Chain A
Amino acid sequence: MRIAVLMKAVPDLVEEIELTADRTGIDREYLKFVVNEWDAQALEEALLIKDANGAEIVAVGLAEDPEIDAVLFTALAKGADTALKITDATFGARRQAAVVSVAARAGLLAAYLAAEPADLVITGVQASDDLDGQLPARLAAILGLPHVSVVVSLTSEEGSLTVRQEFAAGRSHELFVQSPAVIGVQSARQSPRYAPISRIRQAMAAGEITELTVSPFLPGPAPVLRGLKLPEVNNQAEMLSGDAGAVAEQIVGLLRARGLLKE
């Protein structure tokens, strides 16, 4: 079975976000990009299937994504068989340097997957910068494949997939799905495995990322960005001052005043 795991990097949410001067993009100069956390879960679920049944895993990213090499080398170090970086043949012609829209991303990945089909396409259920919808369902609709998102368990047996789709408050549905299919993973059956630095270095030294240029499918209508802004820092919170001991003292006082501490 051939599994394509689609991966991207997103701004590290612990970093402070700054806008470009024209307010249509984020200033990337000092921003750290890390693997989209749900893509890391998607890779783990693919690796678990490979561990159980054997599979060929190709980790796929877009060349224009910042830090994508690091993401793909890590995927190789964890057990992906190959890694592929796709360049958009039309890149530069129409696209601003802002965030790549999900529609454009889906158009490019769909063109690749139409040419080189996978038995199973797995990716993160969402990314924190999905302005125009999420990748799994968009991609599946373009390819005409069945899809299930918000998946917390995925197993495969002879062309039939068993997936568990999660809803609010922990309720879930177990579905049988024919492959090929596109699955959007919320969380893997176990925490993403650790990739030893030595293995990542090995993968980097071997330079095992294949590059491919693809002409994308047309992305269809997309929202038009008017502008970005940082949320007003509407800090209604009264900030407690002092060191940890002083702050702890004040918090205990607040709880005691409300009768919430058992004396």
Chain B
Amino acid sequence: MSHNVMVLAEHTGNQVADGAQELIGKARELAAGLGGLTEVVLFGPAELASQLSGADIVVSMEHPALVDYVPEAYEEAFFEVLAQRAPRLVLMTNATVGLDLGPALAVRWEAPLASYVSRIAIEAETVVATSQILGGKLLAEVELPGERGIVTVLGGAFPALSGETAGAPEVISLAPVPKLDSLRMSLSRVIEADGGDVDIAAAEMLVSVGRGIESEDNLEIVQELADALGVPLSCSRPVVDARWLPKTRQVGQSGVKVKPRAYLAFGISGAPEHLEGMRNAELIIACNSDPGAPIFAVAHYGTVVDLFDLVPELVDRVKS
């Protein structure tokens, strides 16, 4: 076992994903505390390494099955990396790849895993993580016992490391594992997001709606407000999962990150996934019946009046 902290850098095509530098920044801090180095795992084209900063070591493996994320291919490749490099701690994003890969590697590498993590610290050589569970309504502090561990990190939990590249990292290229040639799954096509009807990231103001809207029929009420203001209607993840609005309207880590001049949130409690997508709006006004809802921790103004009472009153005033 080494004292190194390892980060999986996700990439899309020829672009390293945004979250990588957040993980690398945290990994450097933890590695310093453990007396180890920061290793970044990069599958796919080796030249992507030039987009990373802060890595002491880049571990790569190249194979046609690793060009885009394929769950079984990544799992086999990463398991080989873990077997060869034996890091102290592995950090991944708590998004699609982390949800898909992290728990499988925890089983195969026999390591404890903490998910939905927003804080990591080293206390007397023990890794201590804080998970935001129940949609951010509860914090669980856990220790990862033993000499290895995996943490899946919420997007936006740590600041992105930028700029400071202390020389070129050592690059370690591992030979592709034979299992990559006999996978039980294959990628048939990559489907890019369709442009959608509106670009919510470009809107000056958004009227946004969450689970509190209760039904598809009720969307009409908030749509009327959006129309009166002349702005798009956006939403949180449950509304998209229910197929009430298209994915292109979803604000959040797994949707679109927005930074409008004003963000009006109705019936959104503020799960970490959502807050990550809108916390940087210049003005946030939130309406939620639960005074303890996490959305009020990022909102500038809040109200607990019923959205079904408030929205028609707003429509009347905006129209007049």
Contacts and interface: CB of A to CB of B under 8 A. Distances in A.
B146 A221 contact: yes
Nearest to B248: A170
A234 B296 CA distance: 8
Interface stretch (A70-78, A84-92, A235-243): A235-243
Interface in B262-290: 262, 264, 269, 283-286, 290
Contact of A254 (B141, B283, B296): B283
B301 A129 contact: no
Contacts of A140: 104
Given A141-B107, A224-B145, A258-B261, A245 B96 contact: no
Contacts, number: 303
A226 to B, nearest CB: 4
A16 to B, nearest CB: 7
Contact of B100 (A184, A187, A190): A184
Nearest to B96: A150
B128 to A, nearest CB: 7
B251 to A, nearest CB: 11
Nearest to A180: B184
Query: A37, A137, A168 — which one has the most chain B CB atoms within 10 A of its CB?
Result: A168
B61 to A, nearest CB: 19
Query: A16, A102, A187 — which one has the most chain B CB atoms within 10 A of its CB?
Result: A187
Contact of B144 (A178, A223, A250): A223
B140 interface: yes
B301 A175 contact: no
B221 interface: no
Interface in B160-198: 183-194, 196
A137 B301 contact: no
Contacts of B75: 141
Nearest to A221: B112
A173 B68 contact: yes
Given A173-B191, A221-B110, A231 B139 contact: yes
Interface stretch (A48-56, A60-68, A159-167, A204-212): A159-167
B227 interface: no
Contact of B314 (A14, A103, A130, A252): A252
Interface string B287-308: 0001110101111111111100
Nearest to B195: A170
Given A230-B138, A236-B299, A173 B100 contact: no
Contacts of A245: 313
A94 interface: no
Query: B106, B129, B193, B253 — which one has the most chain A CB atoms within 10 A of its CB?
Result: B106
A252 B104 contact: no
A107 B115 CA distance: 18
Contact of A223 (B136, B142, B188, B286): B142
A149 interface: yes
Shortest Cβ-Cβ A-B pairs, 6 listed: A170-B193, A133-B103, A237-B302, A248-B313, A141-B107, A223-B142
7 contacts: A146-B185, A173-B68, A174-B188, A174-B191, A224-B142, A237-B296, A250-B301
Given A137-B71, A236-B299, A239-B304, 13 more contacts: A146-B72, A169-B255, A170-B247, A170-B250, A172-B190, A172-B191, A223-B129, A223-B143, A224-B142, A248-B316, A251-B264, A252-B318, A258-B262
Interface of B: 12, 68-72, 75, 95-97, 99-108, 110-116, 128-129, 131-146, 150, 152, 183-194, 196, 204-205, 211, 229-230, 238, 240-244, 247-248, 250, 253-256, 261-262, 264, 269, 283-286, 290-292, 294, 296-306, 309-310, 313-314, 316-318
